[in-house]
Structure formats: C-alpha cells, structure tokens
Amino acid sequence: MSPYAHAQNKHMRIVLGVCGSVAAYKACGLVSTLVQRGDEVEVILTADAQRFVAPLSFAALTRRPVASDLWDQQVALQHIDLVRRADLLVIAPATAHMIAKLALGLADDLLSTAALAATIPMVLAPAMNSAMYEHPATQAHLATLRGRGVRIVEPGSGFLAEREQGVGRLAEQADIIQMIDAALQPVPTTRLSRVLITAGPTREPLDPVRFISNAATGETGIALARVAKERGAHVRLLLGPTSLPVPAGIDVVRVTTAAQMWDAALSAVEFAPELVVATAAVADHRPREISAHKLKKGRDSFDLVEFVPTEDIVLGLRQALPDAFVVGFAAETEEHQIHATRKLVAKNLDAIVVNDVRDGRGFGPVVNHAVVHFADGASVDFGPLPKMTFAQRFLDVLEEHI
C-alpha cells in the first residue's frame, strides 16, 4: 500500500489553492500524489502563482480546467461553486499576503473569495522567507486562523530560496497529506478534564519605565493550551506579557510580575487540575524596592539596586497539588540534561522538558528542539519541531505516560 493511501479508504474532493511562491512547483507533486490515490482535485492559481508555474501543468495532472479568474464570464459564481462541491480547501504554498487576507477577511481574487465563502475544513501550508514568517504580523494572522479552526502545516527549516538558512520552507509533502487526511477526522479526545498551563515571561519593574524580563513569548504554552482545548479539556492559562493572541474558549489569567503569577497559581489550586505544565519563563529575582522615579544614568542608582529571589511557582504548584501530574520546563545553555535532571528531582516533578536556548534558540516562532525526561527514568527526544507540532506530540506522549 502506498504510504499516502487513505487510512479511511475514502476519496476526497479537494480544492487546492496555489499562491505566488518559489515553492509553487512543489504543488504539482502534491496534486500528482493526491490524484494517484484517487482524490478529485480542482486547482485555483493566483495571478502571482502563474509567474512560477503554468496552468497547463495542473490541468494535465487533474484532467480538469484550472480556475484563476474571478471575473471569468464562462463560469458564474465559481468561487461559491468550487468550495460547495468540495470536501476540503487546501492552500499550498500559502504566502504571507494570502495569509493576511484570509485572517482579515479580504476577498479580491478567486482564491480569497472562495476561501471566505468556504464552510468546509481548510488546510494552509505557509512558505516564505524566515523573516517574513517570524514577523509578528504573520504570526498574529496565523494565530487568528488557527483560532477559527484552520489547520496549519508548519513550515520546515533549512535552505531557503534567498540562500539563507531558516524556517519557512514549504512543509514536506508527507506532512501536508497527513494534515489533509486529519482535517476530515474527529479531533483526538483527551482523558484529562482540567489542565493548568503557565506561559510567557514575567516583568520585574526597576522604576516606572524600566523592567527586567527575558525573551520568552508564551508561544509554546499557548500552543499547548490550544491543543488541550481542541481535545476537550478545560484549560486555564496563566499568561505573562505577550502580544500573541489566545484562542477562544481558554480561561486566561493575564499577569505581569512573578508575584502576580504566584498569586494566580495559588488561586488555580481550587481549579484542581489533573495536569500542570509550567512553561512560563519566570524571573528568578526582582528588585527589593521599586524606585518611585526613573533611575538616571551617570549616577550610582543601578549599583544600589538590591535583588531578592522570586517565588518558586512550579515548586509551589507541586506542593499544593500532590495528586496532579506536574511538568516543568528548563531553558538551558549548557549541560542540559544535568541541569534538567537536578531541577526534576529538587522540585519533585513528574517530568521536565529541556530546551537548548543558546544563541536565542527556542524563543518565538522558531523550530524548537525539546527533550522530555520523566521521573521514572524514561525520556523522549522530539527532535526539531515547530511549536504547534511539538504541542500535539507532547500531549500524546503525556497521555500515554499518565
């Protein structure tokens, strides 16, 4: 059996949108594989996509005319007709411009109008330069689309068209097809009814305008919250300062300082979570006193700032919730396993996830390399993965282990 054969032996009717990306040529291979396994595919090419690949290529593969013109007088209302007779809308590659249009509900060509009219499941496979993919606007648009139920096939990392290394490569065909098949399947359910997650950084003020913080964005914690919510858990998210949006349906408690997160964590004990995942990058120290006025440079003001330890939130949760499965996170730059294991034992955790954060790795919308160590000695190396993919696989592993 082909590795791409349908697990459910059901042929699908797919509308495939192709945008103007260097990766547009890879859509031909995707179409060929889908057709070979029996799917019916209709292709929509944007005007920019036709600068990279000709309509004739897709017409030959699908044995169907290629749609591209919203104002084609030969086919009335085809943007409606295309998606109404399909099971699934796939856009691969999806450019930053198309992602923005879909998130904002803009519709000025055949593909964007068809997407806006679609009531069927949608799969997007982004492809672009890493700077464009990691830009806060693109990440916000992707988060908006995920919140509406759009499935995103996270891009890969490697050599880009600009002769650079980074995240933004169109996902491998096998990953796109896996997501296509999953889009019409029921979302996995969890046996966990209540999940508590901490995420994001904290900010410890020095004076009215300055604070001490770190590079954490909360993306991993938000991804875990999203996946747990989709699987049916009641999720409470204690979230430090971040510009990232949070999906609807998640109980969010926003905090700024470590003390505020400590108070929120103690209040969450009544929530009685069965699983606690502490991804937050909480400051280890804070100023003993906050200056009432802006500290001036050129004086000894900063030399006189005295620091005191902040509350140990994950340890406090462990002690307050003896029956919960508690997972900590460790961001390390050296001797990763040694430091992570020491933290695992000292805080009496059930598991700990260690990330290598040298040179800014692990922060923001990047491919993350995480390893989880369990208290019973087991460990799982997830390898380099986009954070949403990691969240899905991590929760799978936790479910099995719990």
How far CA 153 is from CA of 71, 123, 236, 260, 379, in Å, comes to 31, 7, 26, 35, 26
The SS3 of residue 183 is helix
By C-alpha distance, which of 75, 67, 79, 71 is closest to 117?
A: 79
| HEC profile of the chain | CCCCCCCCCCCCEEEEEECCCHHHHHHHHHHHHHHHCCCEEEEEECCCHHHCCCHHHHHHHHCCCCECCCCCCCCCCHHHHHHHCCCEEEEEEECHHHHHHHHHCCCCCHHHHHHHHCCCCEEEEECCCHHHHHCHHHHHHHHHHHHCCCEECCCEEEECCCCCEEEEECCCHHHHHHHHHHHCCCCCCCCCCEEEEEECECCEECCCCCEECCCCCCHHHHHHHHHHHHCCCEEEEEECCCCCCCCCCCEEEECCCHHHHHHHHHHHHHHCCCEEEECCECCCEEECCCCCCCCCCCCCCHHHCCEEECCCHHHHHHHHCCCCEEEEEEEECCCHHHHHHHHHHHCCCCEEEEEECHHHCCCCCCCEEEEEEECCCCEEEEEEECHHHHHHHHHHHHHHHC
Known catalytic residue at 214: yes
Block residue for tokens 């700077």 = 131
Among candidate residues 214, 348, 355, 368, the one labeled active-site is 214
Angle at alpha carbon of residue 315, lines to 309 and 321, rounded to 5°: 145
Cα separation, 115 vs 122, in Å, equals 8
Which residues are known to be catalytic? 214
